[in-house]
């Protein structure tokens, strides 16, 4: 029980850290991204225990209640995860998300197509997002790609290739604007143009 309370407190603290509009705990408790995350955690535990049907039921009820945040119970999500605004976010079954990752609304972490994976069972079809990544609104990251730690993905980007750590990526199809050798100030300036 202590571990659960610690996680809940951490989830609330992350909202205050990442959203300057957050004014009180009561207000933060209304955030649909927080509801989606908590529903995901419950469904993921049941999914790992191979409970049939219920994990997907929880994820679909959460999708309805959160304005369209759909997180498959099979996805793996690290600590300090934050979805800002949230509506229209889709996170696929084999997606893996590291620690301290932030998504804006309408982000898709999806597969490139079911037809490629039909015969091979449960294979990696969705992106891996490493630690400290920010993904701007409307971005689509598709397939079993990896987005390197500390990267920033711009709004409406279409990412279908691996992204090196510390990169800034924009456009459809995505183009790497800068790679890791940026100073902290340059990264902060560039990230202001992403969300």
Catalytic site residues? 85
Nearest CA-CA partner of 7 in 55, 79, 60: 79
**How far apart (Å, rounded) are the C-alpha atoms in residues 109 and 141?**
5
Beta-strand pair 90-91/108-110: parallel
Q: Is 28 in contact with 16 (CB distance < 8 Å)?
A: yes
**How far apart (Å, rounded) are the C-alpha atoms in residues 41 and 88?**
19
Q: What angle do CA 149, 152, 154 make, to 5 degrees?
A: 150
Q: Is 56 in contact with 40 (CB distance < 8 Å)?
A: no
Q: How far apart are the first and last CA of the chain?
A: 35
């Amino acid at each position: 029980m202590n571990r659960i309370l610690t996680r809940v407190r951490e989830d609330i603290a992350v909202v205050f850290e990442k959203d300057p509009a957050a004014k009180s705990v009561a207000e933060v408790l209304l955030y649909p991204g927080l509801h989606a995350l908590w529903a995901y955690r419950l469904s993921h535990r049941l999914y790992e225990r191979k409970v049939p049907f219920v994990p997907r039921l929880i994820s679909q009820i959460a999708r309805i209640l959160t304005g369209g945040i759909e997180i498959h119970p099979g996805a793996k999500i690290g600590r300090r995860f934050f979805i800002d605004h949230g509506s229209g976010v889709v996170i696929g079954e084999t997606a893996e998300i590291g620690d301290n990752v932030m998504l804006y609304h309408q982000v898709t972490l999806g597969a490139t197509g079911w037809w490629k994976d039909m015969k091979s069972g449960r294979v990696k079809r969705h992106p891996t997002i490493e630690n400290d990544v920010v993904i701007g609104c409307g971005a689509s990251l598709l397939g079993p790609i990896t987005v390197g730690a500390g990267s920033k993905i711009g709004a409406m980007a279409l990412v279908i290739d691996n992204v090196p750590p510390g990169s800034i990526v924009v456009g459809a199809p995505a183009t790497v604007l800068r790679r890791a050798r940026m100073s902290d100030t340059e990264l902060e300036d560039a990230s202001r143009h992403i969300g």
